[in-house]
Amino acid sequence: MIIRSMLFLVPLPMKKLVHSSIRMKTQFTRALGLFLIVIQGVLCASVLPPDADQVLAWGDLNYHLAITPSQPATRAVAGISAGAFHSLVLRGDGTLMAWGDNQFGQTSIPGPAQQGTVAEAVAGNVHNLALLSDGTVVAWGASGGDAGDYGQCDVPAGLDGVVAVAAGAVHSLALRGDGTVVAWGSDAFGQCDVPPELDHVVAIAGGMYHSLALREDGTLVAWGGNIMGQCDVPPELDHVVAIAAGGYHSLALKDDGTVVFWGGYGLIRGSVPMGLATVVAIATGDYHSLALKRDGTVTAWGLNTAGQCDVPSGLRNVALIAARGSHSMVLVDDPPPLVKATVAPAASGRGKAK
């Protein structure tokens, strides 16, 4: 059965769940102490401990019905990332949890990433990257000649001193402590052809077929596929503190809390919703975008083919956002007792909006 446009709640940690009367079909799955609530309808209500974190997702969740984390989710969440059909959670203790489609082993976390030393984790379409505390990178997912293998898991030998990672659809990026960028994987559109003079980089992002780098002076460099102008950085763009790369579009967050958009959604040119301001974080799926505002609310826009832009009404206290493909994810701190859902993965970097 294919279920689209729904909301699921993953309490982290789970101490008590009180489920109210619901007027729609509900499925419960319990795996190793982790509860997954999957709703096909318009209302979900749950009462959680006041200190619980929640990871919520909506949009195309066809592969999210079976969740088999390797460990109980009993630790606070430090990061989230969305793949095309899978999801990653980085816990505060440096361990990972993954669920969703595992056709290429993208949710089978390898041993080196299970030691509690993960500092950052990001998801591509069918692969993942984990930055370890020693500055090295672990990759897993499509490899070994799989249909989705484009070399995105072939971490260059000797790569170290890494401070941030980013995953494109089928390519990978690493930012080293000296401000240089290393790329590997599919280079069909030049997305791995890092400009030779690129330096002083503080953040990176990988899109479908293009890559972005934010320099310490607040300016951007883009390279790779430019079908919809996603690499045509606006000439006067500066004061950028965060970046995100989508399917055929790019986003930049400026230090005044505004967002700049260029590129498009397939054959459709895109833009930023009128009046969008006080933004503190951005994320992109293939054909949609998310913005986290200072008040803890989320704005979504773009193509809504699978409900990926149907932000649950009443959603607030959001701390982190992520997107990839046609689904969206958020981390909610101190969630309200009632979350209503309409019928419903960094960019990496060190900058923050003022």
Residue 354 lies in a domain: no
* 314 pLDDT higher than 70: yes
Residue 21 lies in a domain: yes
Please check whether residue 95 is in contact with residue 110, taking contact to mean a CB–CB distance below 8 angstroms. no
Q: Residue range 192-206: average pLDDT?
A: 97
Residues for the chain: how many in total? 354
Lowest mean pLDDT among 70-79, 90-99, 164-173: 70-79
Residue 143 lies in a domain: yes
Residue 46 lies in a domain: yes
Residue 256 lies in a domain: yes
Please check whether residue 242 is in contact with residue 346, taking contact to mean a CB–CB distance below 8 angstroms. yes
What is the amino acid identity at position 304? N
SS3 letters across 21-75: CCCCEEEEEEECCEEEEEEECCEEEEECCCCCEEEEEEECCCCCCCCCCCCCCCC
CATH of the domain at 129: 2.130.10.30
Q: Which of 144, 161, 160 is nearest to 152 (CA)?
A: 144
Residue 42 lies in a domain: yes
Residue 352 lies in a domain: no
Q: Tell me the β-bridge partners of 58.
A: 7, 328
Q: Which pTM was predicted?
A: 0.80
Q: Residue range 208-213: average pLDDT?
A: 97
Give the pLDDT band (50/70/90) at residue 72. very low
Cα torsion 307, 311, 313, 319 to 10°: value is: 150
Q: Is 249 helix (H, G, I), strand (E, B) or coil?
A: strand
Alpha-carbon distance 339 to 321, whole Å? Answer: 17
Q: Residue range 48-67: average pLDDT?
A: 59
Per-residue buried b or exposed e for 35-69, using 16+ beta carbons within 10 Å of the residue's own CB: bbbbbbeebbebebeeebbbbbbbbbbbbbbebeb
How many independent structural domains does the chain possess? Answer: 1
Q: What is the pLDDT of residues 212-240, one digit of tens each?
A: 999 999 999 999 999 999 999 999 999 99
Q: Give the residue numbers spanning the domain of 84.
A: 6-345
* 55 pLDDT higher than 50: yes
* 201 pLDDT higher than 50: yes
